Structure 1
Amino acid sequence: MTSGEFVSNCTADALTTAAQLVKDGGLVAFPTETVYGLGADATNAAAVARIYQAKGRPADHPLIVHIHSMQAIGEWADEIPDYAIALARNFWPGPMTLVLKRSILAEDFVTGGQPTVGLRVPDHVVALALLSAFEKIGGKGIAAPSANRFGHVSPTTADAVREELANYLAPTDQILDGGSSSVGVESTIIDCTSTAPRILRPGAITTEMIEEVTGLKVLTEATDIRVSGSLENHYAPSATVELNRTPIATEGFIALAEFETPESVIRLASPKTVEEFARVIYSALREADKKGLKTVVVQEPTGNGLALAIRDRLLRASKGR
């Protein structure tokens, strides 16, 4: 297998070809600002089934439908509250998924059998160009979970996708190379089926941002809505991930640059800010596996906002696969 197999540069012709491939039932991995997604036509049951097969993903685990603009919400969702429209206007395109009551267009095979659907407009030029090209040939939306095996570390580069999925893709499937993801952790998922919003998965869009835009207090009560990345163990490398202790010799170490590296410890990443921490955390965990490390120690960033999302992912990673 060559390093370039499946991978395509994002020329106009490549995007047109990729859109037609999706329309014809194929799979296309594409970059977003959060992580890379593995996309299929969200209205094609057989194509969506191939996503589940390639990822080894449980059939009742719902997918997020990516759309080109907020104007498409009405096709996929019913009973859209005003606060959901306010969120879409303020944060789309962006790292936010809205969970809404589904329309008849959103079928069980994409919603995991639930009466809700997750929608997102990604903030990445390649993703938006692909969605636009898909829309022009009659496509309604592209279902796309992260482009990795289920429970593994999410990919933030095209090479990471290829390393994860090359053995599970058909020869005609494609990976669009749009560089490294700029956010690095998955979107905030917001339940919009109640009288006020509720965060189902933390991300770059924070509680404070949601409350400021909607004028509503974010609900904290539990819900039985299933969403991506909500299992106790997820986002895990082969190495064991341990949190907030001093690493010892031969262990990997990820921490903000202010933390010193003990002698004989292998420093995997030294981000200077929480934002950089989010961008590099997954690639650093992948690097640990490439180096054959048995244990990675991560000093978690403190605070709210994006730091909260990072801690959520690391806690799940620490539970293993």
Structure 2
Amino acid sequence: METKILSATDVDVAAETLKNGGLVAIPTETVYGLAGDAMRGEIVRKIYEAKGRPSDNPLIVHIAKIEDVFRVSDDVPEAFFALAEKFMPGPLTVVVPKGKAVPYEVTGGGETVAVRMPSHPLARAVIERSGCLLAAPSANVSKHVSPTTAKHVYDDLNGKIPYILDGGECGVGIESTVVSVVTDVPTVLRPGYITAEMLGEVLGEVKNFEGKVIKTAPAPGMKYKHYAPRCEAALAANASAAVRLYEAANGDGKNPVILAYGDNKKRYGSLNVIDLGDTPADAAHRIYAALREAEDKFGYIIVDKLPDGGLASSVMNRILKATANE
């Protein structure tokens, strides 16, 4: 099967494919998602198969309107609606109690379900026209760097899915924030563009998840390796450390590159560099594309450390996993 890239005018083709039980990669504001009907367990299993994803790693259900949450949960906490009023549509996923209609394939066997309403107009249009709620994890091979362009999806999934709907480059660039509102204190399970501080302004007390998932994960990104490039990668604590890592790798013939952030770029002179920009939002937008470019052109990746706090910490969450080399 040759995967076809659809243009933005082909929304109806994508919607009809999904309605008929097929899979389509769709753009969202965060990353491209591999979409299928979330309410049909046999379709959800196709998503896991196409990605090579462990079936106990839960998926997010994408909705087109707030009231769709009642299709996936029989007991929606008030906190969901408070968050929805402030942040939806947008890059926020909220974990709520699972409804009976939701297949366990979506939740990884758990009793909660993750729900999000994307802001990307093509994603919303596909959901609305297909009539399906969509399970849509990142449209890449499991554990690899997430895709932020249609080409990234094609590079990973050509021959495994029929269509990719091209909506251009993703605006945010990292996956949605995931917050659970079924815990005593709302808990951030995965950091993202919507920070814990922003959530706290709506909910009051919010905490970050600490510890290790042993059995059932309530959200994606908590249990398995993610965001890994296909070559060795390292985190540099500062510009001097980056230069030392570069020189050592170059001496070993590894053809290194530095993913450079902010003013550090000025210190790298003629070294191979890919620019992550000057702000945390720049870095979020560019990090996955930079990792993919680096793995294609170089043999060793060095990533600058970002400052602590806010969105920068969310980007660092991805960088730390990408450079874990596990």
Both proteins in one fold, TM over 0.5: yes
Opposite residue 299 of structure 1, the aligned amino acid is D
CA shift digits 1:156-177 (9 cap, x unpaired)? 00011001100322xxx21000
Opposite residue 152 of structure 1, the aligned amino acid is H
Conserved? CA contact 2:22–2:43, under 8 Å: yes
Counterpart selection for 1:149 from 141, 147, 168: 141
Q: CA deviation at 1:270?
A: 3.9
Aligned residue in 2 for 1:167: 159
Instruction: Tell whether 2:18 aligns with 1:18.
Output: no
Q: For the residues of structure 1 that align with 2:234 and 2:260, how far apart are their CA atoms?
A: 12
Q: CA deviation at 1:203?
A: 0.3
In the TM superposition, what are the counterparts of 1:30-179 in structure 2 within 5 Å? 30-135=26-131, 139=132, 141-169=133-161, 173-179=162-168
Aligned residue in 1 for 2:289: 283
CA shift digits 1:161-195 (9 cap, x unpaired)? 001100322xxx21000000000000001111123
Q: For the residues of structure 1 that align with 2:308 and 2:257, how far apart are their CA atoms?
A: 24
Task: Decide whether aligned partners of structure 1 residues 146 and 220 sit closer, same or farther in structure 2, where only a CA change above 3 A counts.
Answer: closer
Conserved? CA contact 1:232–1:319, under 8 Å: no
Secondary structure (helix, strand or coil) at the match of 1:234 reads coil
Counterpart selection for 2:317 from 301, 306, 312: 312
Secondary structure (helix, strand or coil) at the match of 1:287 reads helix
Aligned residue in 1 for 2:256: 251
Q: CA deviation at 1:263?
A: 4.9
Q: For the residues of structure 2 that align with 1:70 and 1:100, how far apart are their CA atoms?
A: 13
Task: Decide whether aligned partners of structure 1 residues 219 and 195 sit closer, same or farther in structure 2, where only a CA change above 3 A counts.
Answer: farther
In the TM superposition, what are the counterparts of 1:148-297 in structure 2 within 5 Å? 148-169=140-161, 173-218=162-207, 220=209, 222=211, 224=213, 226=217, 227-231=219-223, 233-244=225-236, 245-247=241-243, 248=246, 249=250, 250-259=255-264, 260-291=266-297, 293-297=298-302
CA shift digits 1:207-263 (9 cap, x unpaired)? 111110122343656585512122363101112110113232431111223113535
Q: CA deviation at 1:55?
A: 0.4
Secondary structure (helix, strand or coil) at the match of 1:314 reads helix
Q: For the residues of structure 2 that align with 1:223 and 1:100, how far apart are their CA atoms?
A: 20
Q: How many residues align?
A: 309
Q: For the residues of structure 2 that align with 1:113 and 1:270, how far apart are their CA atoms?
A: 38
CA shift digits 1:43-69 (9 cap, x unpaired)? 122221111111000011111110001
Q: CA deviation at 1:89?
A: 1.2
Q: For the residues of structure 2 that align with 1:319 and 1:221, how far apart are their CA atoms?
A: 18
Conserved? CA contact 1:241–1:295, under 8 Å: yes
Identity of aligned residues (%): 39
Q: For the residues of structure 2 that align with 1:193 and 1:310, how far apart are their CA atoms?
A: 26
Opposite residue 203 of structure 2, the aligned amino acid is T
Opposite residue 140 of structure 2, the aligned amino acid is N
Task: Decide whether aligned partners of structure 1 residues 221 and 320 sit closer, same or farther in structure 2, where only a CA change above 3 A counts.
Answer: closer
CA shift digits 1:131-176 (9 cap, x unpaired)? 11122xxx2x00000000000000000011001100322xxx2100
Q: Structure 1, unaligned stretches of length 5 or more?
A: none
Greater shift in the superposed pair: 126-135 or 197-206: 126-135
Secondary structure (helix, strand or coil) at the match of 2:154 reads helix
Q: For the residues of structure 2 that align with 1:103 and 1:270, how far apart are their CA atoms?
A: 41
Q: CA deviation at 1:272?
A: 1.8
TM-score, normalising length: structure 1: 0.91
Secondary structure (helix, strand or coil) at the match of 1:168 reads coil
Aligned residue in 1 for 2:6: 8
Q: For the residues of structure 2 that align with 1:8 and 1:278, how far apart are their CA atoms?
A: 26
Task: Decide whether aligned partners of structure 1 residues 219 and 80 sit closer, same or farther in structure 2, where only a CA change above 3 A counts.
Answer: farther
Q: CA deviation at 1:99?
A: 0.8
Secondary structure (helix, strand or coil) at the match of 2:15 reads helix
TM-score, normalising length: structure 2: 0.90
